Amino acid sequence: MSHAHRFFAFLMLFLVFSTEGAVYGHYSAHCQFSSYDGHDAVFLEQVYFNKLLLMQYNSSVGKAVGYTKTAQELADKFNSDESFISHQEWKISLCKSNAPQVYNVPLDLVEPDVWLRSVKVADSRHPAMLICSVYNFYPKQIRVMWLRDGKEATSDVTSTEELPDGNWFYQIHSYLEFTPKPGEKISCVVEHASLMEPKVYDWDPLPDTGMNKIIIGVAGMLLGLVFSVAGLSYYKKKTSGRVVVPTTEAGVYV
Ligand SMILES: *[C@@H]1O[C@H](CO)[C@@H](O)[C@H](O)[C@H]1NC(C)=O
C-alpha cells in the first residue's frame, strides 16, 4: 500500500475513533490548470478536520505541509518517504495529462445579446449616460468595458454585478456618464468565452431609425403643405381677378 493510500486510511481511521467526539474530517484533491495542454497544472491535496485545514500538499511547493505540530510531524514523515513522493509525482502527471480531455468537454457557451442606449440624467456632473446592457450569456465570467476614441474609459464608469436570471443565464449593465463631444466615438466592448474576439458595439448618437425617420417625414409633409398652400393661393388670386362679383371666401396666404 502506498503512502497516498495510507493518507486516506489515516483519515478514515481517525473518523472511526472520533465519531463520539464529533470530529469530522474531509479530504479533497484538486487539479487546477488554465492551459489547454495542462502544462501549468497544479495538484492540491488537503486534509481538514472540523473545517480546519490541517495538512496540504501543493505540487508547486512540492511537499506536504502541516498546520499543527502533529500534522507537521506527519507531513515530515511523508516528505521523507520516497514512495510518497513518487506517488505524488504520478498523481501530478495524471492531473496534467487529463487536462486536455477536461478542456475538450463541450462547454455550453452562450453568446450575449447587447443593447446600447442613452438616457438623460439629472443630478450628475454629466448630462448624459450610456447604458450597455448585456443579456443572456453563459458562463458568468464576462468583461464589459468602454472605449472613448479608442482608449479605455475608466472614470465615470459604473457597473452592476453579473446578475443571475435564474435560468443559467446572466445579465450585466455597465454605465458611462459623459458630456457629449462632437465627433467623439464611444463604444461598448464585451469580452466573453463565447466570442472568438472582443465584440465592439459603437454608439451612434443619431441612429437612422425611429426619431430620425419621424423628423424627416414631418419635414417632408410640411414642405408639401407649404407648396400646396402657396399653389392654392396663387390659383385663387389669379381666378379671383377674373371674377366680376367678389367672393366672400377668404384666401389663404403664406
Ligand atoms: C500553491 O503554491 C503556489 C506556490 O507557492 C501558490 O502560488 C498557490 O497559491 C498555492 N495554491 C494554493 C491553492 O494554496
- Mutation test residue for ligand 1: of 31, 42, 88, the one with most atoms within 8 Å of CB: 42
Q: Is beta strand 113-120 parallel, antiparallel or unpaired with respect to 42-49?
A: unpaired
**Distance from Cα 253 to the centre of ligand 1, integer Å:** 87
Measure the CA–CA gap between 167 and 227, rounded to whole angstroms.
Answer: 58
Lowest mean pLDDT among 21-25, 30-34, 231-235: 21-25
- Sheet (strand 199-202) strand order: 151-153, 142-148, 186-192, 199-202
Measure the CA–CA gap between 89 and 84, rounded to whole angstroms.
Answer: 9
The response to whether residue 118 sits with its C-beta less than 6 Å from ligand 1 reads no
* DSSP string for residues in 173-237: EEEEEE---TT--EEEEEEETTSSS-EEEE--SS-SSTHHHHHHHHHHHHHHHHHHHHHHHHHHH
In this predicted model, what pLDDT tens digit does every residue of 106-153 receive, in sequence order? 667 899 999 999 988 877 788 889 999 999 999 999 999 999 999 999
Task: Supply 23's cell numbers.
Answer: 470530529
Which carries the bigger pLDDT value, residue 254 or residue 65? 65
CA neighbours within 13 Å on the CB side: how many for 76?
Answer: 7
Measure the CA–CA gap between 84 and 5, rounded to whole angstroms.
Answer: 9
**Distance from Cα 56 to the centre of ligand 1, integer Å:** 10
- SS3 of residue 93 by DSSP: helix
pTM, full prediction: 0.45
Which carries the bigger pLDDT value, residue 170 or residue 99? 170
Are 25 and 47 contacting, i.e. CB atoms less than 8 angstroms apart? Answer: yes
> Measured over all CA atoms, what is the biggest interatomic distance in the chain, rounded to whole angstroms?
128
Are 63 and 57 contacting, i.e. CB atoms less than 8 angstroms apart? Answer: yes
Helices then strands, counting H and E runs in the chain, come out as: 4, 13
The response to whether residue 23 sits with its C-beta less than 6 Å from ligand 1 reads no
In this predicted model, what pLDDT tens digit does every residue of 202-218 receive, in sequence order? 998 865 556 667 777 88
In this predicted model, what pLDDT tens digit does every residue of 62-119 receive, in sequence order? 999 999 999 999 999 999 999 999 999 999 998 888 888 777 666 678 999 999 999 8
Go through the domains of the chain in sequence order and give each one's CATH number: 3-104 (3.10.320.10), 113-202 (2.60.40.10)
